[in-house]
Amino acid sequence: MKALFKYRDFTHFISIYTLVDDHILDERHFERITYELLESEAGCHVRYVELSFSPRDHIRRGLDYGEMLDAINRGRRRAQGEWGIKSHIRVDLVRNYGPEAAMETLDLVEAEGEGVISIDIGGSEDRFPPKPFAEAYRRAREMGLHLVAHAGEAAGPESIWDAVRHLGVERIGHGVAAIRDPELMRYLRERGVAVEACPTSNVLIGIVPSLEEHPIRRFYDYGLLVSANTDDPSMFNTDMNREYLRLHRHLGFTVEELFRLSLNAVESSFLPEGEKEELRESFLGEYRRLMGRHRL
């Protein structure tokens, strides 16, 4: 398994990801997958997770969307009941299937969308740019969904520009290429577009050469609304504890800076404002208790 999860590049990662997907053969599997993921995150003291779910990957294998969603929601409820961890679902429209398939996926979400809070486009960014999905994003916004897009991971800054200009996204997944465009950096900071940085993932698939060269440090110092994330935890042998430790050891993030990354995650989450404020106050209270006299 360790050998399987050594990726030559982004394209090779996608092929291994697809191979793993091929072994999810029953809708009921999603309850266990969801529950165990949230159990692991609760073990890292994570309080809230937005779970990425790519239904089209499994529908094409013959699985039923409604049954998969029901299983995910059973896993979410079990985890919240046992571990107190809250979660919502982000539906990945998967850019490889094209804009028409994206609309079909939105049809499914509109008919049955319990727990779904946002959409995304993952997949082969280098071959499928964001702009053709503008109509799907417009519709999702009208449905009351929040908007995210993978951009600037396997393509350059122009992919991020397209995502913010044509899709109107609130968050960018990865966004590594933004560091190459000062004007884009200013735009993201001024507009408050959040960046979901995934350091371990980006290193293991060769997007950046090493953790020391990952732009999350410069994103943070520049004042972007950046957070640290695991991407696909089991496929990168990571979790939130490991991500934070690596940021400390390889990029010099202090405890206070790591805490501020957590506050950025709260701020950029899609929780209702009241729940977001409660989570923010909970984080602040616990941080102050742990740090004693030290205050932000």
Catalytic residues: 153
**Residue pair 121/93 in contact by the 8 Å Cβ criterion:** yes
Q: Which residue type does 43 have?
A: G
Query: Kind and range of the H or E element at 44?
Result: none
Query: Kind and range of the H or E element at 33?
Result: helix 29-43
CA distance to 124, 201, 285, 288, per residue, from 262 (Å) = 29, 19, 13, 14
DSSP symbols for 240-282? HHHHHHHHHHHH---HHHHHHHHHHHHHHS-S-HHHHHHHHHH
- Tell me the longest C-alpha to C-alpha distance in the chain: 57
| Beta pairing partners, 194 | 171
In angstroms, the CA 238 to CA 242 distance is 6
Residue with token string 């049809």? 107
3-state secondary structure of 62: coil
| Beta pairing partners, 196 | 173, 227
In angstroms, the CA 186 to CA 97 distance is 32
